[in-house]
Chains A and B, each alone.
Chain A
Amino acid sequence: MDRLSRVCRVLLCGEFVLAVAVIVYAGVHDVKDVFFGAPAAVAVQIEGSCEAGDPTVPCHVSVAELHAARYRIATDAPARTLTITLGSRAPMERAHHLLVRVSQPTNLELYVQAHDGEAFVEPTHLTNSPGRTMTPLPAAARITALSFVSEAEAFSEPIVLDELGFFEANRGLLTDVRRIFQGIPPLTYHGTLVPRVVARLCIFSAIAAFFVPRRVLKRLLPVLVPAICFSLCVLDLAVLFPPYRSGDLRAFYAGGPLQNAAGSNLNGGLWQAERLLAGQGLTVGAGVVSWERMPGYGLFCAVAALFFGHATLVDLATATVLLQVIFYCAAAGFFVWVAGQLWQSHVVWIVGLLIAMLPKQLGYTQVDSIIAPVTLLILAALCIRLKSVESGRPVGLAVDLFVHLTFALWFLMRPDVLPGWLVVSLVLYWRSPRLMIPIVLAVAIGVSWASYKMQYTKEFVPTTANIGATLMCGLWEVPSRFASTCSDAAYFNWIATHTPFEPTSQAASNFATREVLRFWLTFPGHFVIMLYDKMLRFLGGDVWPGHATDLQQSLFQIVPRAPLVVFLLTTMALAVAAGHQRLRTLLLAWPLFLNAPLFWVMQASDGRFYSAAGVALVVAAVPLLFERPFYVAIAAQPRRTLALVVSAGVLAIAARPLDVWLLHNDAFHYWTPFFDASSSPWGTGR
């Protein structure tokens, strides 16, 4: 038995290594697809012209390079014809295939024009059905132009080609190049099969990790976890931005966020970085500084540009996504390295795996995408401090400085950290001079940003000027009879109607904040319902924001999100109630209590701001499950344990019916005990 057991343990170590290797390989395989979208095309110079549907309207063509001679081409007016004229003929001799992805109109006819005028290729019918179309190009050197003729009857929309490129071979354009399982179509393979297999491998590795020698695993953690994290991030991005179907990351940015006005959600940071690097300041336009954002994310994008290039905004967007992925992985690696000092290595492995597997928002160039890794840095810093306290040594100044630098990093990105930072600092340093560290850091950042913005806005605003807007938006995120909606346009319109202030000013924000507070008092029922409904959505799974691919769904099919969240929260509550690692649990879970609830009163935006709470929930709760003293402690407090478990059960069973009942109880919802409803600027409801 002993001998067999030893053999099996060695075998398990081998299986662990194999599982990790397969997981890493799966992600690395997709790197080119995700960040480049296609092999390099033949470098052909192109020029576009168009004929508008209405001949009296001028028509222009915009050409944006996605990557290496692959272009997005669009007319700026509803068009009948889009013509692409090719430059020198020499490179075209190498072109044998034309790649096109049509966005609109629904049907197009492609005509190939030769320099001798001969029609040597039959016209090709193209549609805007998802996916790329490959057209063989015989004797491409004869081609001088391509004409795309709309088959729409009314020519009511511009002609938009999401992708166009000339290629020597069609290898790697309609499906990825892989050595194994070549027959499986890319969408099925990457969208479903690989994520599911990888999720199962992750679960297996979590079990096998118990049999890997602790010392070895502890040494490997800071390498393996980032490697796996990188792989899983790339796998998720490959599912969300499939080059062979709806379009790769570059095509997504070129055709979507970069078409929006500068400063919108997914391009604000990119424009800030682009203008900063061009010497035009941290602005989103000439003389326009961001009113609703801190400066950190724009600087982050600038760093991405310096590291990975920014020849075009599409390149910059891709560089930013890449840096976000690297930052997430590096933060996860740093966290597990530090956490290895507090917990056993297989526990840290499981926590690291879960962090790597969580739904993420890394494909989106907005600050919310990097709050999770920033949180990991904060939690790692707190772990260092906890270890210091646990060992009985006085906490070094450098440790405390590091803790607050990580908090400051969040503040540089988003101001919502301030309440949590304040409370954590007071808990750690009540009546200690070290309380000055967070104060100095917060003031330094706030004053610097306010001073910088002042030259453009003439206002001194240390954080952002959108608190009123987000409070107002938060009101309309639960079903009600109030007719208002949540959008920048609605807020600007409302401010313009009711005040003489510039809608992006602090004065406007203050006015909106006062009106929202008055609204809460006017309709306390709506306020309670708003808090309760958003809390339930948070507990129901919004705590882990981001698009859940099959990688995560594989886990959530085993344990659905809501019961999992309630289970982990109950575990934490049991530890706190039983006095087991009370300070550690509360400290590591601070975003759950001191950050997430802010968005129950402010705009929650379908939970996209909650990522810090999601990470904290995993870090604070999961290790408890592997600690024997935890079970001893809760067994020693049977009444408290029973009360908490019963409470969690009642919450799980009754919470949703109560929410539905509240939402349908108009007498409570629109109850006005203190102020007359007609005095509300948002009316009395439909």
Chain B
Amino acid sequence: LIVLGRRPGLPFARFGDLSSIIIATAGLMFFWSQYSYLSGLSWWYGSVDHLRTGSAGRPAPDYDLATLPWKVAAARVFDVKPGRMTLVTSHDSFAYQASANIGTGGASAADIQFDVDVEAGGVTIGLLQGGQWVAISSSRKAGSFADWNSAQLGYRRSLTVVIANDNPAGESRFIVKSLRLYLRK
């Protein structure tokens, strides 16, 4: 485009102008995308670090294991009791097992904290918005799996907490001892 733009009289003579417009616009988008990616990532690391180190004075969660409106997707055993969720997954290696869809209430960010005892296989716990993972934590090791995660929320008004199988070999068994969700304005 640039080369053609320097040949007056050619039908492409305006392409030099056009290329400057396209590249200038692309440049703006490029700078913004790099900045927003890095600032988003910095926010995420900062949030998770803050959650891990400063949870003592944290207020009550907006949702917890008992108050989340769970829907069973594929789990063979799904038993929620106060302070404990027992789950035996389907044989599908990475299938969603249970989910809970909630309204964000205008929140701009969500923090999730969980504590799971993996008896066999592996587990993925995360947040979905618009069908896309916005926060995801996985473990394929038997034993305790506790983590914090954070996500900036998009414009959509709903958010889904998902528990999925993470065992290429098939079924997993685990107990969710706690799961708390905090919504931040």
Contact = CB atoms under 8 A, between A and B. Distances in A.
Interface stretch (B33-41, B79-87, B177-185): B33-41
A434 interface: no
Given A4-B21, A5-B21, A184-B45, A15 B38 contact: no
Contacts of B119: none
Majority SS of interface residues in chain A?
Answer: helix
Contact of B24 (A2, A12, A193, A628): A12
Given A2-B17, A5-B17, A200-B34, A12 B41 contact: no
Contacts of B20: 5, 8-9, 12, 211
A602 B34 CA distance: 46
B17 A208 contact: no
Given A5-B17, A12-B27, A204-B30, A210 B41 contact: no
A197 B34 contact: yes
Interface string B14-25: 101110110111
Nearest to B39: A181
Contact of B38 (A8, A11, A12, A184): A184
B169 interface: no
B10 interface: no
A204 B27 contact: yes
Interface in A144-201: 180-185, 193, 197, 200-201
Most buried by A among B14, B27, B31, B42: B27
A444 interface: no
A207 interface: yes
B23 A211 contact: yes
Interface string B27-59: 110110010001101111111010000000000
B77 interface: no
Contacts of A286: none
A18 interface: yes
B102 interface: no
Most buried by B among A12, A208, A628: A12
Contacts, number: 67
A440 interface: no
A1 interface: yes
Interface string A201-216: 1001001101100000
B2 interface: yes
B38 A181 contact: yes
Nearest to A4: B21
A197 B42 CA distance: 15
Contacts of A4: 17, 21
A207 B45 contact: no
B138 to A, nearest CB: 19
A208 B31 CA distance: 13
B46 A182 contact: yes
Contacts of A185: 45
Contacts of B47: 183
A1 B43 CA distance: 41
Most buried by B among A182, A200, A210: A210
B42 A208 contact: no
A4 B22 CA distance: 11
Contacts of B31: 15, 18
Contact of A15 (B2, B24, B43): B24
Contacts of B34: 197, 200-201
Contacts of B18: 5
B23 A181 contact: no
B8 to A, nearest CB: 13
Nearest to A211: B20
A185 to B, nearest CB: 6
A55 to B, nearest CB: 42
A204 B45 CA distance: 28
B27 A15 contact: yes
B45 A183 contact: yes
B41 A208 contact: no
Most buried by A among B18, B20, B45, B49: B20
Contact of A200 (B2, B30, B41, B44): B30
B24 A184 contact: no
A11 B31 CA distance: 13
A353 B137 CA distance: 40
Contact of B44 (A180, A183, A201, A208): A183
B177 to A, nearest CB: 28
A210 B25 CA distance: 15
A5 B34 CA distance: 25
A126 to B, nearest CB: 21
A200 B33 CA distance: 12
B45 A208 contact: no
Contacts of A12: 20, 23-24, 27
Nearest to A18: B31
A411 B70 CA distance: 76
Nearest to A181: B42
B14 A1 contact: yes
Interface string A564-602: 000000000000000000000000000000000000000
A193 B2 CA distance: 31
B42 A182 contact: yes
Contacts of B16: 5
Contacts of B43: 183
B27 A208 contact: yes
Given A204-B27, A204-B30, A193 B17 contact: no
A1 B46 CA distance: 45
A120 to B, nearest CB: 26
A183 B21 contact: no
B14 A193 contact: no
B58 to A, nearest CB: 18
Nearest to B2: A210
Given A181-B39, A200-B34, A208 B46 contact: no
Contacts of A180: 38-39, 42
Given A12-B24, A197-B38, 4 more contacts: A1-B17, A183-B41, A183-B46, A184-B38
22 contacts: A1-B17, A4-B17, A5-B18, A5-B20, A5-B21, A8-B25, A9-B20, A11-B24, A11-B28, A12-B24, A15-B28, A180-B38, A180-B39, A180-B42, A181-B41, A183-B41, A183-B44, A184-B45, A185-B45, A193-B38, A204-B30, A211-B20
Q: List 5 A-B pairs, minimum CB-CB distance, nearest first.
A: A183-B46, A5-B17, A183-B45, A8-B24, A181-B42
